[in-house]
Amino acid sequence: MKPDNIIVALATPPGRAALAIIRVSGAGSIALVSRLIPELTDISPEQARRLIHGFAYDSNGNLLDEITVIPYLAPKSYTGEEMVEIICHGGRVSGGVLISKLCELGAGVAEPGEFTKRAFLNGRISLSEAEAVAAAIEAKSELALKAAARNLKGELYEKVDHIRKAIKNLLALIEAEIDFSDEEINKTPFDEIAIEIAKQHERTRTILKSYDFGRGLNSGYKIAIVGRTNVGKSSLLNALLSRERAIVTEIPGTTRDTLTEWIEIAGFPILLTDTAGLRDTSGTIEAIGQERTKSEIDKSDLVIFMIDSSSGATAEDNEIYRSMEGKPILVVANKIDLN
Ligand SMILES: Nc1nc2c(ncn2[C@@H]2O[C@H](COP(=O)(O)OP(=O)(O)OP(=O)(O)O)[C@@H](O)[C@H]2O)c(=O)[nH]1
Ligand SMILES: [Mg+2]
């Protein structure tokens, strides 16, 4: 089913800003908005996709804001439907007032992602392009944004579509082989078909392999800094963040709770967690902290296991290391200046 009801939403974040953008989509959008903005009355196809300067009024003729507005005729719009983009003044009031006036006139407030959903349902963009819109908005690093932009341009879709077409061709060849196997027509040898199948299989595997990379770029990797008390875990967190985020003292057991911050390393978003040092303890708070350290280890993609190189690996270090079996571990020897 193709939805044709009119939806409206603020496309920019609420709050103080020079400008805000309101999007309206659905058949009849232009006529609906023209009841607030007279300059949109009787838009000709030549005026579509062009910026129009105007003023917005309420139903009593009171001036609300000076605006610019872009009308789009179906199907040449983001959603593929008739659309209007209103550029009004930012701040707390203007966008909200215009949206509530449009809702009074019959528009409904869009769900998050509904414009993109309509673009997909109307065949304007592929599923991978729709996902790329979300990935671009959520991008936590420049590298993530660049990957999303490639998919916005349809790179992933093209790769998958290429494989899909090749498989359809193969299927046609195989079916022809079955249907006309007795007849003397130009036939494709089976080994050629087998080679082509292997090629498409390999291409599919390559795309699948890129999934983990893409997931890391979008959701980030979780890295926990783990080790005995006082080895310098919080000092490493602070050094990587370039600020004194965690309390560092010479007293063992300083960090009691897990502490998490986003950082970017080589373009990858990393959720870095400092944890409570592991040791035998009778303290209730410290014991709870250590339980949290253990659950943090379970959730991590990588554990930075820190040891104090001035004392070398102790029996306690060995015990902690063994308890993390199966986890990707990066061993970091700290306090090398004391050697
Ligand atoms: N000499 C030296 N001291 C360090 C180094 N790194 C950290 N320290 C000191 O070691 C002490 C403990 O550092 P923290 O970063 O609090 O250690 P931690 O592993 O977080 O300790 P807990 O939170 O108790 O588990 C502090 O006095 C730091 O200044 C280092 O590379 N060399
Ligand atoms: Mg600490």
Query: For 148-165, how does the pLDDT look when each residue is reduced to its tens digit (9 = 90+)?
Result: 999 898 888 899 999 999
- What CATH topology corresponds to 221-338? Rossmann fold (3.40.50)
Distance from the alpha carbon of residue 225 to the mean position of ligand 2, in angstroms? 9
pLDDT of residue 186: 67
Give distance in angstroms: CA of 255 to centre of ligand 2. Answer: 4
Separation between Cα atoms, residue 203 and residue 210, nearest integer Å? 11
Local confidence band at 3 (pLDDT 50, 70, 90 cut-offs): very low
Q: Is the CB of 236 under 6 A from ligand 1?
A: no
Are 103 and 144 in contact, with CB atoms under 8 Å apart? no
Q: Which pLDDT belongs to residue 327?
A: 95
The pLDDT value recorded for residue 101 is 96
What is the homologous superfamily of the domain 7-124 according to CATH? Probable tRNA modification gtpase trme; domain 1 (3.30.1360.120)
pLDDT tops 50 at residue 1 = no
Q: Does any ligand 1 atom lie closer than 6 A to the CB of residue 233?
A: yes
Ion ligand 2: residues, CB within 5 A, are 233-234, 254-255
- What span, in angstroms and rounded, lies between the C-alpha atoms of 226 and 31? 62
Query: If you measure from the C-alpha of residue 308 to the centroid of ligand 2, how many angstroms do you get, rounded to a whole number?
Result: 13
The predicted structure's pLDDT at residue 2: 38
Which residues contact residue 220 at a Cβ distance below 8 angstroms, ignoring those fewer than 6 apart?
Answer: 140, 262, 268, 269, 270, 271
The set of residues, in sequence order, having a beta carbon less than 8 Å from that of 85 and lying 6+ positions away, is 11, 21, 22, 23, 24, 69, 70, 72
C-alpha span between 308 and 1 (Å, rounded): 64
Secondary structure (3-state) at 283: coil
Q: Is 252 in the pocket of ligand 1 (CB under 6 A)?
A: yes
The single residue listed with the structure tokens 């920019």 is 12
Q: Is 258 in the pocket of ligand 1 (CB under 6 A)?
A: no
Q: Are 248 and 235 in contact (CB under 8 A)?
A: yes
> Could you tell me the distance, in angstroms and rounded to a whole number, from the CA of residue 217 to the centre of ligand 2?
28
Q: Please say whether the beta carbons of 83 and 25 come within 8 A.
A: yes
Q: Radius of gyration (Cα) for the chain, nearest Å?
A: 29
Distances in whole angstroms, Cα of residue 32 to Cα of each of 71, 83, 149, 234:
12, 10, 33, 58
Spell out where 11-57 has E strands: 15-25, 52-57
**What is the distance in angstroms between the CA of the first residue and the CA of the last residue of the chain?**
71
More confident of the two residues 253 and 218:
253
Mutate to test the pocket of ligand 1, among 240, 248, 273 (most ligand atoms within 8 A of CB): 248
pLDDT digits (tens, 9 = 90+) for 180-219: 766 666 677 888 899 999 999 999 999 998 887 888 887 8
DSSP for residue 179: H
State pLDDT tens for residues 113-133. 999 999 999 999 999 899 899
> Would the CB of 248 count as within 6 Å of ligand 1?
yes
Cα separation, 37 vs 98, whole angstroms: 10
105 Cα to the center of ligand 2, angstroms: 58
- Percent helix, percent strand, percent coil in the chain, to nearest 5: 45, 25, 35
Task: Report pLDDT for 244.
Answer: 95
Give me the mean pLDDT over the 261-266 stretch.
89
Residue 93 or 101, more confident: 101
d(CA 68, CA 87): 5
Residue 274 has pLDDT above 90, yes or no: yes
Using the structure block, give the residue that is written with the tokens 């001036």: 63
Q: How close is the Cα of 276 to the center of ligand 2, in Å?
A: 6
- Spatial CA neighbour of 131 closest among 147, 142, 143: 147
Instruction: Output the pLDDT for position 163.
Output: 96
